[in-house]
Each structure stands twice: as structure tokens, then as C-alpha cells.
Structure 1
């Protein structure tokens, strides 16, 4: 019945989850699962001479693969979903640039101020950008504390090399690099953890990037991006610096496009853009008319528009996605005390704050629809819970965390 509490949904969800876990365990011990593990073991054995020919010692290889006897199915599941390329831009930004990430970033700026000043002086990258990257990559290190998120980097990369054809070449290269990190002694085997794709530490460096850019700024003899925040932030700064970061320059400007006029694409100087009727959204003049910038409208003509400078594209050397670089830039500005966007995103619903999103998740959990974290971040689990609630209450099941849905939940 519409509006009634679905008392059985939570129990059904737990039963389904139990069935799924049971099926997974059975797959490991049934002949099919046994064959898969045997295939993985054969792959590891075949990879050994490749690793040794690349400079990995037999001792390091044995240490790396000690206890790694099966591939990681969670890694393959996560490989199928990358929000930088699938989520709508407003959804991606809302989950990463919000009152929580801003306030925590400002607190971290105060806590690490002396180190940030030292890093800025050495590499020329502003602290706001570094703090935003730290937030985007690991929620200021919080995900490193979550066992359900962090994976064994060796097992993750070996899984991708063994079972993911699209990423096999990448994974083999990164696996050898990860073993070289282990071989140098910068990290011990028990702490060589990372994301499903093998990204490491507070600032989530893939192993080859770690080799190229890792910095021991705290001078303890180890380039430790897992437990040393200064090393992690300096490593991020070094990557941007070596890829052409222009000190003293912004990543971009929010702009307003002239009404009823088609604006050509391409890269032009800010003075040329201004001559075409493109002006800053805050009404201020462009500080350097000779600086080149590229126009992007990630949410269409009716959403916010941006003129993006070279530094925006340097950020993309960290993660080659416009949404990612935009998220870093917008969050960096807010951490640094600048106001938010003048033109809001074209969300197909009335948005709510992060605290209201947490409240929404709490209501859904109480009603038995949701069993995830109460963190205000609207991922796939939250959207499915919202959709289920909407369906049972006569609301179009779009899965959006809207004020309208929250209002209905508050009445339950």
C-alpha cells in the first residue's frame, strides 16, 4: 500500500545479501571457482620470469605474492564503474564539493599550514589545490582507515592483469612498479594497500607515478605517502610542478556567455573571449588578457560555463577527466575562501545540503530501504534506496536526493 512502511524490505535485503555471499563462497570452492583460482595461480607463475627480467628479485617476488592465492572479484566489480565518466556533472560535483569537504579542508589547512607553506615555496602549487586533491582522492585520508575500501595492491593489480583484458597491460606495468616500491623499502608488505586499481596512499598515486614523483619532504628516509601527510602532499605538488603548473595562475574562471549568440569553440586569449562577449560571472575583469583559455560548458549552455587555463589541464595529468579537474578547482577555491558558483547546475530536482542528505539516508535506513554509510554521499546504494522508496510511495523513481523526497520521508 502507498505510504506504508516496508517492514520486510530490510529483511529481504539482508537475505539477498546472504544469498549473494553464499554464492560467492560456493564459487570459490566449487569446481568452477577452483578452476578460476588455479588459472590465477598459473598466471602468477607465468608472470614470475617477466618480473625477474624487469629487475624484481626472487625474494621480493615471493614476498609480494605470499598469501595471494586467488584473484579479487571485488576489484573486477569496481572496474566496471568509474563516476568521473558515468555520473552527471552535478552529481559528481555535489558529492565532492560541499560544506563537509570545504570545512574539513579548511581545518586541514590550519593543521598542516607550516608544511603547506614549505611545499608551496618549493613547488609553486597553492595549498588549496593540494588539499582539494587530498579530499578528492582519499577524503583527507579517511578511506585509508576503511578495510572495505582499501585492497591489497599486489592482489588488485594481479587481478586486473589476469582477468581484465582492457587493463591487463596497465596492470602488468603497475604490478612490477609496485614490487619495485616494496623492494626499495619505502613501505613494508603489510601496508602496501591501495584502491581497486592499485592507486596508493593519501593522494592515490599509481605505482609508476609514485616512482616518478614521490618526495620524502619530511626527510625520514622514506617516501611515505601512506602515513606521512607532508610526503603525500609534496608528492602531489611535485607531479603538478613537473607537468607544467604555472605558479600564481588560476585553473580557470566561471563566465557568463552572451545571450542568443553562438560562441565558437577553441582556445583563445582572455581578451579575445571578452571581445566575443564572454565575461566573468562575478563581474570582475580578467587579470591577464593575454592568457589563453578554453571554453567548456559541462552542464550545457544553461549551466555554469568556464574558461579554463593551462593549470586546469595540468590537473588532468593527475586524473584525465574534466569532471575531476573541475571538482579539484572548485573545491580548492572554496577551501581558500572564495565564494561558490554564480550559476548553479541544471539539476532535475531541488537540491539539499549534506546534512539533509545524511538525514535522508537516516530516514531510509530507519524504514529499511538503506544499509550503507550515513555520510551524505549519494552513490549507487543510496540511489537504489531512494528509487525503492519512491516506487512504494507513488513518486517518479528517479533516485535523486531531492527536497521533495526528504519532505515525504519526514512525514513517515
Structure 2
């Protein structure tokens, strides 16, 4: 979830720096741990628990090079989504829904979250428990708490990991997960565990690593806590009329379904929308030439799990496939190549130079970049779909 994409040369440089900095600063790592011990004690972690978890602990030199890789932002939407919603994952997910039917029944009943969405998150995060990660969560969070650009965040995660150990949910030896500290069947960060983890069997101990019922219940509970609306889906694939003003698209421009219908937006296949008063925003993940969607509030809830529209689309689409649905009705513009990391950075720089982009220049083409592109396209008399292409970058290079 906390990842990114750089050129091979940049990755080599970052990896070298990541390896050198901790190696040259063992003393500072010890100092950092001593400071973290005070924070842990303030959260009720016993000194012996801290000592057991950190004795002999060294930084993981390989982690910092991974901190900024984000495939959600660096690949074309269809590449990312299709890669996660593969036929074998759909088939396996349908088997898991049957195998663990009782656990899904209970999680859906008690949290109000659609079982297919819970199953989709499970499948995307760890391939239904097959790829939970084998990195020490304590070591990973300690490394990132002491080095890198997100130390404040990871200090909290390190202390939360020790709280989980202190509470008896997992032992230090078994506390293993991803390089960034997420763990279990559905990859909770330690602080998320403390906030939302729930037992699926009524046990006092919550085991997200070994218990499927606990993982499903906890995932449903987290989505419920983030505002999941029971009985509603995540969104609809739609057909937009020719000439629709694409500046209406975007997360900050919701309208009711009835208002979108009045503008000529229709659900694919001629099906009716079930609730005309639902708010929804128009999403064009591949611009005017790709599929279009009206996204419901639950789409934003899925994004709380991973703040990426492509991730939320993959979860929603996989959930629909697990339910028995098919692929998207409209084709993706697959001939359009993805911009390189340097091109994405240049795109943001040029948008900033003309006063249209004020966000971070990081090559992550999220909502802020897309809205800036829409403003540029509208000013240039182009369809303002906000989709970054090589041709659009070339036009920016020419000054519009």
C-alpha cells in the first residue's frame, strides 16, 4: 500500500543510500529505539515486552528502497486492474466463498459489508492467504520509524505493533508480514488492528495471521467504521452522451443519479439505477476513450483501505466477478502507452509552470494532477477528461 515506481537508475541509487545509511548509523538506530521505548511505555507496553521484541534488533537495509514504489499510480488503469482481477483469482475467490461460507455469513451479518467486497480485498491483498509476507513486522516498522521520509507515521506503527504483542494477540517470532508492516490475511497495519480488528469466533485473542474468520470480520468491521453503506454497491459502469462536459468528472463534483440521468448518462446494458437519489461522481479512469463509471460513496470507503482509485476499482470489479458478473462493457484504449516516471514528473512540472497544479511533483498521477490536466484541456479547447497521454505532454511542451 505504501509503494511507488522509479527508473532503474534511481532505484539503484536509492537502494545504495538505503543500505549505507543504516549501516553507517547503528548507534543512531539504538538511540532511536531508546526514544521509541519511552513512547511504548506511555502506551502501556511493559519494559520486558519491549526488550523481548527489540533485543538484537537491527535495521533492515532493503526496506527504504521500496518505500516509494506505487504501481497503483505508475501503470495504466487497465494493466493494474486486469492484473489483479485475473481468471484464476476469480475462480479461487468463488471457492473461498463456499469454503468459508459460515465466516462470510457472520461477517456480512454483523458488519453490513458485502461479502464479495471482503473476499475481493482478501484476494487482492494476499491471494486468499497465500502471500501474507515473511518480513518481521517489528523490524520493518522500527526501520521505517528511524529512517526514511515517513518516520512520524511509522513510529506510531512500531509502537502499535508492540501493543499487539503486549496484548497477547501474536508473538514477536510469528509477527510477520509485508515490508511496510502490514500483516495478516487482509494486510492490516498495526494501528488499524488496534482500531478495527475483531474476532470472528468470539475469542479474546484476535489472530489475523492464522484465522480466516477473524480476518473477514475485521475487514468488514474496518469498512463499516469508515462509513460503508449496507445494501449499496460501489458504482456502475455507464455510457455518457456525446458532448458531455467532462469537467463535471471527479471526486469533488458529485451529483445525484437522477441529475446524471438528466444529463443523458445511462447505465450500460439499459439497466435501471436502483436508487435515483444516491450521490455519485463521474470517473473516467482512461479518459474519454475508455469505460466510464458513476462511483457511489462506498467506492470512497474502499479507498480508505488503499488511497488509490485504481485499487478501489480492482476491488469493486473483482467483487462483481465473484458475484457472477462479467467484464467491463466498454473497451480500454490499450494502445495508449503509460508515461514513464520522468514523463509523469515533467507533466506535473509543466502544469505547475502554467499555474494549474499546486501539488507535490512526485510522478504520482492522482486526483490533483488529473484535475489540473482537465483545466489545461478545457483552456486548450480539448475534451477535458484529465487522462495523461504522450500527446498531451507534447502539447504542454509546445505551450498549449
- Unmatched 5+ stretches in structure 1: 1-19, 351-412
**Alpha-carbon distance, 1:185 to partner:** 0.1
Change in Cα spacing, 1:300 to 1:57, as seen in structure 2 (3 Å) is same
State the secondary structure of the residue aligned to 1:301: helix
Match of 1:219 in 2: 202
TM-score by length of 2: 0.76
| Residues 83-128 of structure 1: per-residue CA shift (max 9 Å, x gap) | 1222221121121011011111111111011211121111111111
**Alpha-carbon distance, 1:33 to partner:** 6.7
The alignment's C-alpha RMSD in Å is: 2.0
- Unmatched 5+ stretches in structure 2: 1-11, 338-400
Match of 1:366 in 2: none
Match of 1:276 in 2: 263
**Alpha-carbon distance, 1:34 to partner:** 4.7
Match of 2:111 in 1: 123
| Residues 231-260 of structure 1: per-residue CA shift (max 9 Å, x gap) | 001000001112221111111000111123
| Residues 179-211 of structure 1: per-residue CA shift (max 9 Å, x gap) | 000000011111111211111211111111101
Match of 1:337 in 2: 324
Specify the structure having the higher radius of gyration (Cα): 1
Match of 1:328 in 2: 315
Instruction: Map 1:25-40 to 2 at 5 A.
Output: 34-40=23-29
Structure 1 residue 251 and structure 2 residue 234: aligned?
yes
Match of 2:148 in 1: 164
- The 8 Å contact of residues 106 and 200 in structure 2, kept in 1 or not, is answered as no
In 1, Cα distance between the equivalents of 2:184 and 2:51?
23
In 2, Cα distance between the equivalents of 1:158 and 1:91?
34
**Alpha-carbon distance, 1:62 to partner:** 0.5
Match of 2:285 in 1: 298
| Residues 314-344 of structure 1: per-residue CA shift (max 9 Å, x gap) | 1111111111111100000001101110012
Change in Cα spacing, 1:196 to 1:34, as seen in structure 2 (3 Å) is closer
Match of 1:142 in 2: 130
In 1, Cα distance between the equivalents of 2:256 and 2:23?
61
Match of 2:30 in 1: 41
Match of 1:191 in 2: 174
2:276 to 281, 284, 289: 289
**Alpha-carbon distance, 1:281 to partner:** 1.4
The count of corresponding residues between Structure 1 and Structure 2 is 318
TM-score by length of 1: 0.74
Which runs of structure 1 show a deviation greater than 4 angstroms over 4 or more consecutive aligned residues?
A: none
In 1, Cα distance between the equivalents of 2:99 and 2:313?
25
Instruction: Map 1:56-205 to 2 at 5 A.
Output: 56-68=45-57, 70-144=58-132, 149-165=133-149, 167-205=150-188
| Residues 149-176 of structure 1: per-residue CA shift (max 9 Å, x gap) | 42111111111111112x1011001111
**Alpha-carbon distance, 1:298 to partner:** 0.9
